[in-house]
């Protein structure tokens, strides 16, 4: 098991490349460069998936695999102009989604703690479960996705820093700023 200390040069290069690709995706999404922005999204997620797996952030590794799939889905969905109109959920629907995600987070964290060597299982489960929800909202063009990302990114900064991935932590700090920009449509 690799601890949060030093990371080999090759892995650091993968981390930096994945971060830059992921930033390119988010910037492109904010600029409305769909469906093309989803290509760097899939590539960046692939790199982060490998690194998270090696650092025993197992739910986060699975989340990155989900991002690869959602990058393809997002490119497809956004290329169909008639389907790329802004969507909205009611407060009740958001409340139900948040409660469901919170309960799911507890169960996933218990599973990670019991059956894996996952580092920081509760935080790992939180970022993963809520990111699934936020990603679904994002690829369906729900403005509220940004509020979810603000909370997720704040936790992910700590998670990545704690596991010795400073560029990953910096990515989530930038994502946090971008989520605030997206929320306020700056």
**Is 114 inside a domain boundary?**
yes
Would 21 be classed as within a structural domain? yes
Please check whether residue 104 lies inside any domain of the structure.
Answer: yes
Domain span holding position 26? 9-184
φ/ψ of residue 87, rounded to 5: -115, 165
Distance in angstroms (rounded) separating the CA atoms of residues 13 and 97: 37
Q: Render each residue's pLDDT in the chain as its tens digit; 186 residues.
A: 444 457 788 888 999 999 999 999 988 988 888 889 999 999 999 999 999 898 888 888 998 999 999 999 988 888 876 655 677 889 999 999 999 999 999 999 999 999 988 888 999 999 999 999 999 898 788 889 999 999 999 999 999 899 888 888 998 999 999 899 989 986
Q: Classify residue 23: in a domain, yes or no.
A: yes
Contact, 185 vs 166, CB < 8 A? no
- pTM for the predicted model, two decimal places: 0.80
The structural domain count of the chain equals: 1
Residue 83, in any domain of the structure: yes
Q: Is 92 a domain residue?
A: yes
Inside any domain, residue 1? no
């Amino acid at each position: 098991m690799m601890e949060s200390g030093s990371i080999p040069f090759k892995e650091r290069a993968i981390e930096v490349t994945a971060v830059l690709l992921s930033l390119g995706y988010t910037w492109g999404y904010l600029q409305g460069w769909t469906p093309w922005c989803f290509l760097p999204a899939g590539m960046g997620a692939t790199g982060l998936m490998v690194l998270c797996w090696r650092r025993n952030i197992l739910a986060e590794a699975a989340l990155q695999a989900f991002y690869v799939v959602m990058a393809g889905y997002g490119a497809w969905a956004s290329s169909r102009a008639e389907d790329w109109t802004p969507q909205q959920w009611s407060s009740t629907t958001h409340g139900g989604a948040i409660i469901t995600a919170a309960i799911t987070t507890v169960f996933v964290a218990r599973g990670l703690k019991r059956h894996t060597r996952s580092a920081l299982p509760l935080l790992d489960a939180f970022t993963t479960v809520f990111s699934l929800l936020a990603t679904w909202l994002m690829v369906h063009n729900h403005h509220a996705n940004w509020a979810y990302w603000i909370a997720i990114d704040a936790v992910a900064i700590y998670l990545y820093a704690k596991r010795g991935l400073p560029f990953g932590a910096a990515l989530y700090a930038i994502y946090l700023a971008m989520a605030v920009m997206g929320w306020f449509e700056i």
